[in-house]
A = this chain, B = another copy of it.
Amino acid sequence: MSQGGSAPPGLAGAREVSMTIPVAPEMEIVATAQAAALGEYIAMARDKIDEVKLALVEACINAFEHADCRDEQLHLTFRLGREPKGREWLEVEVLDKGRGFDSSRVEPPSIEKSFAGHRKRGWGLQIIRSLMDEVEITSGGGGTRILMRKYK
C-alpha cells in the first residue's frame, strides 16, 4: 500500500515505525503502546485506537500460539497515511517467520458451536476482521503477514 501523498516535504518515509518484539507473554501489550502512540499522533478517536489495540493483540497472540516462529520474534510495522484527498489511516503489519496456515480453511466460529463443543476458541481472526476496516492475510511456508488498516 502506498504512503499517504500528503506528508510534508522532508518527511519522506517519515510515517513508518517498525519494531521487533520477542515471543513472550504480555509482549502484545507492549506492542499496543506503539499503536496507541501513533493513533494519538494523528488524533484518532480513543475508541478506534482501542479497536486497533485489540486487533493487534489478537494478531500477536496468534503468532505466539500457532506460528512456532523460527526467530522467536514478531516483526511489526506501523504506517500512517492518507487516501488521496481522503481520510487518514493507521496501518499495522504483523509478520511472523513461522509455519504459516491457510486462512481460507479456517472455519468461522459461532457461540453456539462454542457451547456445543469443547472448543471455545477460534475467535481471533473474526475479531480482527470485525474491528479493522481492511485486513489482508498472506501466509505460506515463510510465515504469516497480517496487514490491517483503520481509518481515522
Q: Is A142 an interface residue (CB 8 A)?
A: no
Size of the A side of the interface (Cβ < 8 Å), in residues, is: 27
Main secondary structure of the interface of A (DSSP, over half): mixed
Inter-chain contact B30/A37, CB cutoff 8 Å: yes
12 pairs from A and B in contact (CB 8 Å cutoff): A11-B22, A13-B22, A13-B73, A14-B22, A14-B72, A17-B27, A17-B30, A19-B19, A26-B41, A30-B34, A33-B34, A33-B37
Q: Copy number of this protein in the oligomer? A: 2
Q: What distance in Å separates the Cβ of A2 from its nearest Cβ neighbour in chain B? A: 16
| Chain A residues engaging chain B, CB cutoff 8 angstroms | 11-24, 26-27, 29-30, 32-34, 36-38, 41, 72-73
